[in-house]
Chain A
Amino acid sequence: MRPWPRVGNPPVETCSEPPDTVQVSSVGMMSTPLAAQGMKPRVFVLVHPAWHGAWFWKKVVPLLRQKGHLVFTPTLTGLGERSHLARAEIGLDVHVTDVVNVLKYDDLRDVVLVGHSSSGAVITGVADRSPERIGLLVYLDAFVPEHGQSVFDLVTPERREALETLVKTEGSGWLLPRFAPPPWETIVSKMWGVTDDNDVRWMLERLTPTPVGHFRDPVHRTNPAAERVPRAYIRCRQFPNPRFNQHAEMAQRGALWRYREMAAPHHAAVTMPDNVTDLLLQLAS
């Protein structure tokens, strides 16, 4: 009997690693309404943060598609419309594979790979595994872990302790129920800066607990090709976060980095989708 991998193991070789030589996709077949836009059509893969799902990008996706770009918004396993698949074994490696496989199965090349907040760790892991498919990494107010670092390694010890306590008391030992001890209403409006009533309601109906491996597992970052991929950092200045400030300083100095900032709350993709779209297009062009 052949052993079949469970969640958390590498994909089945025969089916999850389609050969790179096959280049048949829709991209060459479709009409190109984008020629008139003055910008080469790009492929955007937008990775939502913990607790969210593809729905997080609802306002940005149509703006990018209207301009003729291809947009993919995978939902990480165990979250959003994939929350029926949540289980203790799901961690960062599954989430990295969730995205790596989208690049492979949809034959995506020269991708603008965007990660918001905790998914900075996800896109870092994706770059390590599929650097040849990525044209630009964009960290949107996101964590930038070094090799061996987890998201939890990048928050203060006090905060980490508070979150680990939440996992124990409200998450059955494997789910992080939310971003911080206060209720979601407070987090969404006071910490993330989403104040429109409809937006708040929309989010409260959709936020789901996140398997804690997403935060605890260290990122793998050893591929030299991945370290050569151009990258950009977008800092949302209205969200106080010393770690993100450090990342912003690093991006302003780094040769491989470009840096932009917005006078925006952490959830700029929800509150200022036009500005986020413009910035992404600017960085991608």
Chain B
Amino acid sequence: MHGRRTFLAATAAAIASLGTAHCAAGRAGPAPGKTKTFVLLHGAWHGGWCWSRVAEPLRAAGHRVYTPTQTGLGERSHLISKNITLDVFVQDLVNVFEWEDLNDVILVGHSFGGTASTGAADRIPRRIRHVVYLDSLILQPGQSAFDAMPADVAEARRKLAQEFSGGVLMPVPDAKAFGITDPADAAWLKAKCTPHPLQTYETRLTLKNPIGNGLPVTYVAVKPDYGPTVAVRQYAKTRKDWNYVELQAAHDAMVDQPQAVIDIISRL
């Protein structure tokens, strides 16, 4: 395990130093017969759409890729209601595994998507090969996303949601909040991000097993640091049984550095 940790860290460093030039060279994909199954779960305000730059090259290389959208977001935004909790998000995710009968899955949860990923790892570990937390939130058992934030930040978000939608939805932040500054990418995010159901931040995560449920886990932390995940990183670093990787990328790494994300997750 220790050797793997070092290898991944070295890979990420190499990716970071190569920057965009790496993209063209990295398209080779897996050898035939090495088909893998990925489930990529978006974070708050995003939808399955945000993975297109990661999902399509992986599919073109022969992998199976699923990018479910959580209820109330993206192309599912017409289903918004105040009843959408974190439990619904976990069920959204678990059901994809069960209906599609997915096994040996590399589950990648970005940002808030790490919360439902933890829930899925708790409930269906036998279907999962590796959990990747991509600069994501990790809730402790019994904790809500708001519990995991500084109290004043949580209160400010509740207040915003109250003003914006009577407490149902949190309005979409500027693309800069996700580290995206390229104007075309920022326009894409602005067009596609949707308000996020507040209750998913209030629900406490129920787990029957320890976080990660004994599965292999990799935490990918973007550099420079993304404020809301700094505390979680400290926790991830204490997990000596996990891999910890740093990546030179925006918080929305799948938008900003898709090839680097592909390189990390396709080596697992």
Contact = CB atoms under 8 A, between A and B. Distances in A.
B166 A2 contact: yes
A219 to B, nearest CB: 18
B27 A81 contact: no
B151 to A, nearest CB: 25
Contacts of A62: 64
A101 B164 CA distance: 23
Contacts of B27: 31
A131 B144 CA distance: 43
Contact of A33 (B48, B60, B164, B194): B60
Contacts of B147: none
B231 to A, nearest CB: 29
A6 B166 contact: no
A117 B60 CA distance: 30
B95 A16 contact: no
A7 interface: yes
A53 B78 CA distance: 19
Contact of B53 (A1, A26, A55, A98): A26
* Size bracket, chain B contacts: 35 or more
B57 A30 contact: yes
Contacts of B166: 1-2, 4
B49 interface: yes
Contacts of B62: 66
Contact of A53 (B59, B79, B99): B99
Nearest to A103: B75
Nearest to A16: B77
Given A16-B194, A26-B52, A84-B88, A6 B100 contact: no
Q: Which of A15, A24, A25, A80 has the most CB of B within 10 A?
A: A15
Interface string A1-28: 1101111011110111011001011110
Contacts of A10: 78
Contacts of B55: 26
A30 B56 contact: yes
Nearest to B57: A30
Contacts of A15: 77, 172, 193-195
B109 interface: no
Contacts of B48: 105-106
Interface in B14-69: 27, 47-49, 52-53, 55-57, 59-60, 62, 64, 68-69
Interface residues of A, number: 53
A77 B78 CA distance: 10
Given A4-B169, A33-B60, A82-B95, A105 B75 contact: yes
Given A15-B195, A26-B53, A7 B78 contact: yes
A70 interface: yes
A65 interface: yes
B181 interface: no
A55 B101 CA distance: 9
B104 interface: no
Contacts of B101: 55, 202
A212 interface: no
Given A105-B47, A206-B99, A70 B56 contact: yes
A114 interface: no
A83 interface: yes
Contacts of B88: 84-85
A68 interface: yes
A279 interface: no
Given A5-B78, A102-B75, A12 B194 contact: yes
B53 A77 contact: no
B75 A98 contact: yes
A236 B251 CA distance: 49
Nearest to B50: A105
Nearest to B53: A26
Contacts of B79: 7, 77, 85, 94
Interface in B71-97: 71, 74-82, 88, 91-92, 95-96
Given A19-B191, A31-B27, A70-B56, 8 more contacts: A1-B165, A24-B187, A26-B57, A29-B258, A54-B99, A85-B79, A85-B88, A105-B47
5 contacts: A4-B166, A22-B191, A24-B185, A30-B60, A98-B78
> Which 5 A-B residue pairs are closest in the complex by CB-CB distance?
A26-B52, A101-B75, A15-B194, A81-B95, A1-B166
